[in-house]
């Protein structure tokens, strides 16, 4: 089915804009299948013939999952101490169980750190 969709998209793009490489955005399971198609039939569907992009939600989930480096850093404990989240919810942020909540927690953390940075800079600037 994905291979058929790739053929249809290729024909449509060639009809509308000859020479342009088609770009497909897919969610994670379909992205994996499309990449396998590219690797198995490189002459017809190779990486020089199609650009495959991971969908926005899956891209965000993957990028938030790389923040696994925060595990053991005390970030979840700090969120709990600040009454931003319960201990279980704060731990779920490290696993990216809920993308919206995890994004919000990172935004709150970035905002708090920015405020602290500006406060420290203002205190330093006034001290001279």
Model pLDDT, residue 36: 95
Instruction: Please check whether residues 67 and 107 belong to one and the same domain.
Output: yes
Residue 52 banded pLDDT, cuts 50, 70, 90: very high
- % of the chain at pLDDT higher than 90: 38
Instruction: Please check whether residues 106 and 79 belong to one and the same domain.
Output: yes
Instruction: Please check whether residues 69 and 119 belong to one and the same domain.
Output: yes
Instruction: Please check whether residues 50 and 63 belong to one and the same domain.
Output: no
Instruction: Please check whether residues 69 and 112 belong to one and the same domain.
Output: yes
Query: Mean of the per-residue pLDDT values for the chain?
Result: 86
Q: Determine contact, residues 105/79, Cβ cutoff 8 Å.
A: yes
User: In whole angstroms, what is the distance from residue 101 CA to residue 20 CA?
Assistant: 39
How many structural domains are present in the chain? 2
Instruction: Please check whether residues 65 and 122 belong to one and the same domain.
Output: yes
Q: What are the structure tokens assigned to 101, written together?
A: 């909540």
Say if residue 127's pLDDT is above 70. Answer: no
Instruction: Please check whether residues 23 and 71 belong to one and the same domain.
Output: no
Q: What are the structure tokens assigned to 51, written together?
A: 């650009």
Model pLDDT, residue 56: 81
Q: Which domain holds residue 105?
A: 59-127
What predicted TM-score, i.e. pTM, was given to this entire model?
0.55
């Amino acid at each position: 089915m994905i291979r058929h969709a790739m053929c249809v998209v290729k024909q449509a793009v060639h009809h509308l804009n000859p020479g342009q490489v088609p770009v497909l955005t897919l969610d994670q399971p379909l992205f994996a299948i499309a990449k396998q198609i590219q690797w198995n039939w490189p002459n017809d569907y190779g990486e020089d013939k199609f650009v495959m992009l991971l969908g926005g939600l899956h891209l965000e989930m993957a990028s938030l999952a790389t923040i696994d480096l925060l595990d053991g850093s005390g970030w979840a404990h700090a969120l709990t101490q600040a009454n931003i989240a319960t201990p279980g919810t704060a731990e779920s942020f490290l696993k990216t169980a809920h993308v919206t909540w995890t994004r919000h927690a990172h935004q709150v953390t970035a905002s708090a750190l920015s405020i602290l940075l500006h406060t420290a800079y203002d205190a330093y600037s006034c001290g001279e």
